[in-house]
C-alpha cells in the first residue's frame, strides 16, 4: 500500500498538485486511523491530507479511481458468444467469416470469443499509438480512440452487419443472431473500458516517471509573443509563485514602516529594563492601505500578452485588497468582481469572454474619458495608477488632458508597455504623448521584465 501511495503522490505532483513529504506521511497516518477496507473513508482520508487547494480537487477526483479502483489489473468482463452455438451454427458462422478480409475476420472472431487483450497486446498498442509518450490526462480520450482504431472496432461492427445478412440467408435463427450481436456489442464495450483504464494508468505512470520540466529560467527571458501553450502554462505558474513572493515582501515593508501615535503598552514594555523610565518610545504601526487602480488594454494588438497581464492583475488583487481593475478595448469595464473569485485561469477567461478583442476598435482616449466621467473619485493621494497597454489608439483623440489630470491626482503613475521604446510614437501609437505624465514607463516584453516591474510597483 505504501508504494502505491507514493506512486499516487508522484502522479499528483506530476499533474501540478504540490504534495509534500509531510502530507504523504499524514495520508499514511490517516489510513492507519481509518483503515483501508471501505472505499469512501479511504478516499476522504487521502483527499483531506493530500489536497489543500480547491482548484486541485478535480485532479484528485480524476486520478483516484485510476489508481485505487484497480480495474486496470483485472481482465475485463467479457463473454464467449460462440460456446452456446450448435455445430451447424458454428459451421455457418465460420463460412460467413471466411467471406471477410482475414484481419477483420480475426478481430471479429476474437471479440465474439470474448478474449481479453493480454498485457503484451496492450503494450504493443501503447507503443503503436504513442501512448508511451503521453504525459497529460487530457490525451486520455484521444488515446483510447486511437487504440480502438488500431483494434478496428468500427470495421468489426460493419463486418458483423454484413455477415448478419449472410447468416440470415442461410437460415440462422433471428433470436440467435440478435443474441450474437448483443454479446459482440457488450464485449466491445468491455474492451473499451479496459482500454480506458489502461490508458489512464499508463499516462499516470508516464507522468510520475518524467515530471514536467521546470526549466523556467529560459522562459523568463522569452518574449510573450513567441510562447507556446505549454510554455504559457509554466509562466502561469511563475505568476503564481511571484504573487506568493509579493505577499511576504509587502508585509515586511509594512512592518518596518514607523508612523502613528505613541503605543503606551509597548513603550512601557520596552523600558522595563530602565525601571519604567521611558528612554525609547515606540509607536503604533499604522496599516498602510495602498490603493491601486489598474487599467489594462485587452485589444487585439495586446492579445499575445493580455492573458499574462490579467493573470498578474489577478495576483496583485489577491495581495492588495484595494485594487480597482479596469479593462478596455472599445469601451471601459470594471473587472475587479470578475477577478475576485476562482482561479486565475477562470477569472481571466471570464474577462476575455466578456470583452472579446475586436478589429481596430481600440479606443484608449474614449476609455480614459469614460474613466474620467464614472470613476475619477477612485484616484486620490493614496492611489497608484498602473496602466498596462501599448498606447495604440487607432488615431483617435488621445485625451492627454484627462490622463494628465489622473496622473496629477495620484501618487504615482506607472505604465507597462510590451512594445520596445523604438516603436513608441510610430503608426497609431500615442505613447510619446502620455510619456511626460508617467513617473515610470517600463517595457515588459518578458516575464523577467514583468517581475522587475512588479517589484518596482510594490517596493517604493
Partner 1 sequence: MPDAFSSPNQVRESLHDQGYVCSSEIATITYLSDQLDKPLLIEGPAGVGKTELAKVVAAATGRELIRLQCYEGLDETKALYEWEYAKQLLYTQLLRDKLQEVLASAGSLAESADRIAAEENVFFSMRFLLQRPLLKALLSPEPVVLLIDEIDRADAEFEAFLLEILSDFQISVPELGTLTARVQPLVFLTSNNTRELSEALKRRCLYLFLNYPELEQEIDVVNLKVPELDGALTRQAVEMVQGLRNLDLRKHPSISETLDWARTLAVLNAERLDRGLVSDTLNVLLKHERDLKRVQQRLEPMSGDGPEYQGPEDEDDHTRYL
By CB under 8 A, name the binding residues for partner 1.
Answer: 18, 20, 22-23, 26, 29-30, 33-34, 40-41, 44-45, 47-49, 51-54, 57, 243-244, 247-248, 251, 254-255, 265, 268-269, 272, 276, 285, 287, 318-319, 321, 337, 341
Strands 440-443 and 383-388: unpaired
> Mapping DSSP to helix (H, G, I), strand (E, B) and coil, where does residue 282 land?
coil
- The closest alpha carbon to 24, from 36, 7, 44, belongs to 7
Residue number with CB closer to partner 1 (138 or 255): 255
Residue number with CB closer to partner 1 (61 or 88): 61
Residue number with CB closer to partner 1 (145 or 350): 350
Residue number with CB closer to partner 1 (61 or 154): 61
Expressed in angstroms, the distance from the first to the final Cα of the chain is: 53
Least separation in angstroms between CB 268 and partner 1: 4
Q: Please report, to the nearest 10 degrees, the dihedral formed by the alpha carbons of residues 422, 428, 433, 435 taken in order.
A: -40
Least separation in angstroms between CB 348 and partner 1: 16
Phi/psi at 308 (nearest 5 deg)? -70, -40
Least separation in angstroms between CB 216 and partner 1: 18
Q: Where are the beta strands (DSSP E) in 193-319?
A: 291-297
Residue number with CB closer to partner 1 (33 or 422): 33
Least separation in angstroms between CB 275 and partner 1: 9
CA–CA dist 444, 147 (Å, integer)? 45
Least separation in angstroms between CB 176 and partner 1: 43
Beta carbons within 8 Å of 69's beta carbon, 6+ residues apart: none
Residue number with CB closer to partner 1 (337 or 425): 337
Burial-class residue 271 by CB neighbours within 10 Å (0-12, 13-18, 19+). Answer: middle
Pull the grid cell for residue 36: 483501508
Beta carbons within 8 Å of 361's beta carbon, 6+ residues apart: 299, 329, 330, 394
Least separation in angstroms between CB 453 and partner 1: 21
Amino acid at each position: 500500500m505504501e508504494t502505491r501511495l507514493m506512486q499516487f503522490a508522484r502522479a499528483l505532483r506530476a499533474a501540478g498538485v504540490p504534495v509534500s513529504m509531510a502530507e504523504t506521511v499524514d495520508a499514511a497516518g490517516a489510513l492507519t486511523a481509518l483503515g483501508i477496507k471501505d472505499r469512501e473513508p479511504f478516499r476522504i482520508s487521502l483527499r483531506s491530507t493530500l489536497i489543500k487547494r480547491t482548484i486541485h480537487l478535480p485532479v484528485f477526483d480524476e486520478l483516484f479511481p485510476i489508481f485505487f479502483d484497480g480495474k486496470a489489473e483485472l481482465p475485463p468482463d467479457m463473454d464467449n458468444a460462440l460456446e452456446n452455438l450448435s455445430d451447424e451454427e458454428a459451421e455457418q458462422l465460420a463460412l460467413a467469416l471466411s467471406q471477410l478480409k482475414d484481419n477483420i475476420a480475426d478481430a471479429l472472431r476474437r471479440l465474439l470469443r470474448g478474449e481479453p487483450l493480454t498485457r503484451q497486446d496492450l503494450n504493443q498498442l501503447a507503443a503503436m499509438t504513442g501512448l508511451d509518450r503521453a504525459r497529460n490526462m487530457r490525451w486520455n480520450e484521444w488515446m483510447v480512440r486511437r487504440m480502438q482504431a488500431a483494434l478496428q472496432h468500427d470495421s468489426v461492427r460493419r463486418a458483423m452487419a454484413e455477415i448478419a445478412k449472410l447468416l440470415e440467408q442461410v437460415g440462422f435463427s433471428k433470436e440467435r443472431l440478435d443474441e450474437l450481436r448483443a454479446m459482440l456489442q457488450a464485449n466491445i464495450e468491455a474492451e473499451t473500458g479496459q482500454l480506458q483504464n489502461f490508458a489512464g494508468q499508463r499516462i499516470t505512470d508516464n507522468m510520475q516517471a518524467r515530471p514536467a520540466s521546470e526549466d523556467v529560467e529560459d522562459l523568463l527571458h522569452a518574449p510573450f509573443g513567441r510562447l507556446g501553450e505549454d510554455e504559457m502554462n509554466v509562466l502561469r505558474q511563475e505568476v503564481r509563485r511571484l504573487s506568493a513572493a509579493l505577499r511576504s515582501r509587502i508585509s515586511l515593508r509594512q512592518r518596518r514602516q514607523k508612523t502613528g501615535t505613541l503605543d503606551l503598552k509597548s513603550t512601557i514594555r520596552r523600558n522595563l529594563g530602565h525601571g519604567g523610565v521611558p528612554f525609547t518610545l515606540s509607536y503604533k504601526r499604522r496599516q498602510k492601505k495602498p490603493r491601486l487602480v489598474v487599467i489594462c488594454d485587452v485589444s487585439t494588438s495586446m492579445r499575445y500578452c493580455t492573458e499574462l497581464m490579467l493573470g498578474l492583475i489577478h495576483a496583485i488583487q489577491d495581495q492588495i485588497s484595494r485594487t480597482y481593475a479596469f479593462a478596455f478595448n472599445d469601451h471601459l469595464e470594471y473587472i475587479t468582481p470578475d477577478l475576485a473569485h476562482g482561479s486565475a485561469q477562470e477569472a481571466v477567461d471570464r474577462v476575455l469572454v466578456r470583452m472579446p478583442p475586436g478589429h481596430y476598435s481600440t479606443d484608449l482616449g474614449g476609455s480614459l474619458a469614460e474613466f474620467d466621467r464614472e470613476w475619477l473619485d477612485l484616484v486620490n493621494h493614496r492611489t497608484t495608477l498602473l496602466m498596462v497597454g501599448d498606447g495604440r489608439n487607432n488615431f483617435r483623440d488621445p485625451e492627454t488632458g484627462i490622463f494628465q489630470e489622473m496622473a496629477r491626482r495620484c501618487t504615482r503613475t506607472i505604465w507597462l508597455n510590451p512594445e520596445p521604446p523604438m516603436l513608441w510614437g510610430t503608426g497609431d501609437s500615442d505613447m510619446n504623448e502620455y510619456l511626460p505624465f508617467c513617473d515610470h514607463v517600463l517595457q515588459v516584453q518578458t516575464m523577467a521584465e514583468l517581475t522587475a516591474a512588479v517589484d518596482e510597483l510594490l517596493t517604493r
